[in-house]
Every structure is written in C-alpha cells, then in structure tokens.
Amino acid sequence: MSGQDLIVIGAGSAGLSVASGAVQMGLRVVLIEGRVMGGDCLNHGCVPSKALIAAASAAHAMRTADRFGIRAVEPVIDFPAVMAHVAGIIAEIAPHDSQERFEGLGVRVIRGMARFTGPDEVTVNGERLKARRIVIATGSRPLIPQIPGLADVPYLTNESVFDLRALPGHLLVLGGGPIGVEMAQAFRRLGAAVTLVEAGSILGHDDPEAVDILRTTLGRDGVVLREQARVEAAGQDGSGVWLSVGGERIAGSHLLVATGRRAGVSSLDLDQAGVEGDEGGIRVNAALRTTNRKVFAIGDVAAGLPRFTHVAGYHAGIVIRQAVLGLPAKADHATIPRVTYTAPELAQIGMTETEAREALNSVETVRKAFAENDRARTARETEGWLKLVLHRGRPVGVTIVGPHAGELLAPWSLAMSSGTRLSRIAGLVLPYPTLSEVAKSAAGTYLSPKLFGNPWVERFARLVQRVVP
C-alpha cells in the first residue's frame, strides 16, 4: 500500500483545482478519475452549453437585423457544423484539464473508479492507496424522475445532448431549471420546435418579476411553455417520443430530461470510511469536512450547497488552506453569484426581494431599467432591469435581467463580499456609454433623496455660501 499526502477523487473543476494547488505547494498528490478529465463543466455543462448558446445567438441576430436597418434573413443552419463548433471549443480547452498536464505538474493520475476501503484509504484498479487527507470531488449526475415509461424512452440529458449531429424536429424539454430553459431557447433559435414542460414555474428559485421577462422572451422566440404541468407517463411510438400531461399527449422527436442533479456517490462505498451521504449529497460542515475529519467533500457532491463550477473552485481554495497550509477556513455561501445564460440573461447574488422580505424586517428596493441606459439603447437591448435589494442601506441582494447580466454582477459581488458602501459605487467614474453605468445609477438613485431635497443639507449649503469667501 502506497502512502500519499492527498488523494483527490474526481477530476472536475473542484478536484483539478485542489490537485494543482496542492502539488505546486510540495504535496504528494494522487488524482483519481473514473470518467473523463475536466468533469461535467468541460464536457457536458458550462463549456458546450455556452458554445451552443453563442451559435444560437448568431442565428437570432440574423433574424432580427432589421432593427438596425439591415435586412433580416432566415439563417441557414448547418447543425453538424454547429456541433463541430461546440466540440472544437471543448477540444481547445481540454489540454488545460488533461492528464498529461497534471502529470507534468507532478500529480499521479489514475484512471479508474475509486472506492473507500477504510477511513484513510481507497482502492482503485486493485491498488490500495492511503493518504493523510482525502478529497471527494465526484460532482453530480443527471437526476432522472420516476415517471412511468420513461426508462424505456431514448431520452437525452446534458451528458448526451451535445452528441447530437442532426437537429431535432421537435425537442421536448422536461424541466424548467437553468439547464432546461437555456437549452430550450438555444435549440429553438437554431430552428427546432421546442416544448418545455415544468411541474411548477420555470426558474422557480429566481425573482418572479425577472422570470416574467424571460418567459415573455421565450414565448416570442416560439418556445411553447407548459408550466404547472405534471407528467404522468412517457413513451415512444413510430414518430418519436411523447409525454402525457393531464391526459393529453405532447409529442416530439426528441426528449431532453433536465429535472435536476444527484450527487456522484454511488460507487464510493462511503460507509467504509465513516462518511455520511447519499445521492442527495455528502454531509459536510462549514469547513467542508465530512463526518470523517480526514475526508473533505467539495463542489456538487457536497449536500445542500450551490452546484456551480465557480463554487467548486471556491471550495478548492477552502480545502487547500486547511489540508495544505494548516490554516482555519470556512465556506461562506451568502454571496455566491449565479447566472442563467438565456437572452436576456438572468443574474442573481445574495437574496431575491422575496427572500429578503421573508428574512428581514426592513427592506427597500431600487430598480433601474436598461431602457434608461444609453449603451443599451444604442444596441437596442433595452429589455430588463437591475433590482437592488437593501437592508438598512446595505445591499443584501441584486437581481439583473437583461443584456450581459452575468458580467454586470461583478461589482456587486465585490461590494457585497467586502462590505463596500453604496456611496463608493455611486462615486465611481465609469466610461460612457457602458452598461455598467446601470450599477452606478442604481446606487445614485438610492442615495439621491438623502442628499437632494434634504433640508439639513440645504441649510448647510446656504451656510457655506454665507461664510466661505
């Protein structure tokens, strides 16, 4: 049995970040991956989906060019070429996450499925490995609902949809979370008929007013939304697949299941290490330690925590501080940003207005519409707004629905994590015209009544005029 300083199980975003940081600080590191290097984000998630969305946006720009005085045309979609573009982007990024790169850094990479055989040891490919610390970073997998007949239907998930080389004639999307909504709009803009079926409301965790804007855009694009629609059965026939909703059959050529995620723990034998967890995730404390103090769980596999690639990278830093440097560290998820990459984008940090009003006794909001922003006007992208949610003059949440909302969240991420006062944001000197002025404008709108029209300020100003030469 070989001894190591650190064993990392899973070579996705979380595991790769821990392994690279630890080995460059002098630790002996083993990285175990049973599937593909780069994990879900590179191969089945963030990277391919955004590449597909970029292609869909180009097609949409051609259809809507007449708003700029340019003749609009219906684009000719070469779907195999679109998917070759997606595969090409993955291939461009893959070397950064490759086995060769990590072995070049000094990491021992083992390709195989690891399982625990003790509190500080795992077995992979018949070899037993022991380490002072072990990090579980096995990510998540698509959660398939228990719907009668679904198991017999050739459905797609995010792990297989990017393997398509022929455009679906009619794509049924089951699930109205970020993945389902993003893919519904992208495939519709690429020419497929699309029906999205959701048991509740689409994007149910987001600001309902922001979702209403996106719902309108999806309808304008031609996506058929079936919300509050519980699927009773699924099946296939000679012409494709179908879902039964309220006794009605909704037929399509393909079915994409996007109903959530489950933790990747099924083959780990967690009980052998004294680690508590199931498909809902591995139980961790604020330091991301499991019920076995020698074992950490980070990224999507950790129970109850946000499942985003940027959170996985953040978790990696928390573990490195503890396992490598011996420093105390705890994860704080209060200001984790999230973005749904539709058009318009929907970005959120902190609490939504609804969450804030439920949790706090005094809440104010400021809304600035993109229709008031000159850069948005020039691009004719004026749909949407920024909503600033405040408690006692401090921002506790920001919702942005509109063009490049994810990029516009950056200053609020800094402000909320560092406690920056609104006056600092209102006093920024920004280039004109830019979309980022919407943040400055929102801060200024909140502060203006406290300065202009304030009788105390007016009295002080008059005093200054009398006494200052």
Is the same domain home to 315 and 206? Answer: no
Is residue 459 assigned to a domain?
Answer: no
Is the same domain home to 8 and 102? Answer: yes
Residue 26 in marked binding region: no
Residue 126 in marked binding region: no
Residue 252 in marked binding region: no
How far apart CA 81 and CA 432 sit, in angstroms, is 38
Residue 418 in marked binding region: no
Residue 200 in marked binding region: no
How far apart CA 376 and CA 324 sit, in angstroms, is 47
| CATH number of the domain where residue 189 is located | 3.50.50.60
Residue 368 in marked binding region: no
Is residue 12 assigned to a domain?
Answer: yes
Residue 237 in marked binding region: no
Those residues with Cβ within 8 angstroms of residue 103's Cβ, 6 or more apart along the chain or in another chain: 109
Q: What is the pLDDT of residue 106?
A: 97
| Total tally of structural domains belonging to the chain | 3
Residue 50 in marked binding region: yes
Is the same domain home to 103 and 185? Answer: no
Q: Which helix (H) or strand (E) is 397 found in, with range?
A: strand 394-402
Is the same domain home to 162 and 250? Answer: yes
Is the same domain home to 17 and 129? Answer: yes
For 206, phi then psi, to 5°, come to -100, 170
Helix (H, G, I), strand (E, B) or coil at 404: coil
Q: What is the pLDDT of residue 460?
A: 67
Q: What is the pLDDT of residue 465?
A: 77
Q: What is the pLDDT of residue 467?
A: 83
Residue 250 in marked binding region: no
Cα atoms in the Cβ-side hemisphere of radius 13 Å centred on 335: 13
Residue 181 in marked binding region: yes
Residue 182 in marked binding region: yes
Q: What is the pLDDT of residue 116?
A: 98
Q: What is the pLDDT of residues 56-98, one digit of tens each?
A: 999 999 999 999 999 999 999 999 999 999 999 999 999 999 9
Is the same domain home to 309 and 236? Answer: no
How far apart CA 72 and CA 64 sit, in angstroms, is 6
Domain that holds residue 67: 2-142+262-324
Is residue 467 assigned to a domain?
Answer: no
Is the same domain home to 255 and 278? Answer: no
Helix (H, G, I), strand (E, B) or coil at 399: strand
Is residue 457 assigned to a domain?
Answer: no
Q: What is the pLDDT of residue 453?
A: 65
Residue 300 in marked binding region: yes
Residue 138 in marked binding region: yes
Is residue 319 assigned to a domain?
Answer: yes
3-state class percentages of the chain: helix first, strand second, coil last, to nearest 5: 40, 25, 35
Amino acid at 297: A
Q: What is the pLDDT of residue 464?
A: 74
How far apart CA 347 and CA 345 sit, in angstroms, is 6
The two counts, helices (H) then strands (E), for the chain are: 15, 23
Is the same domain home to 185 and 52? Answer: no
Is residue 234 assigned to a domain?
Answer: yes
Q: What is the pLDDT of residue 264?
A: 96
Residue numbers in the chain where pLDDT is lower than 70: 1-2, 451-454, 456-458, 460-461
Is the same domain home to 19 and 127? Answer: yes
Q: At what angle do helices 13-24 and 309-319 cross, to 10 degrees?
A: 30
Q: What is the pLDDT of residue 1?
A: 53
Place of tokens 């195989």: 112
Residue 318 in marked binding region: no
Is the same domain home to 270 and 389? Answer: no
Is the same domain home to 137 and 282? Answer: yes
| CATH number of the domain where residue 365 is located | 3.30.390.30
How far apart CA 218 and CA 461 sit, in angstroms, is 52
Is residue 354 assigned to a domain?
Answer: yes
Is the same domain home to 40 and 85? Answer: yes
Residue 144 in marked binding region: no
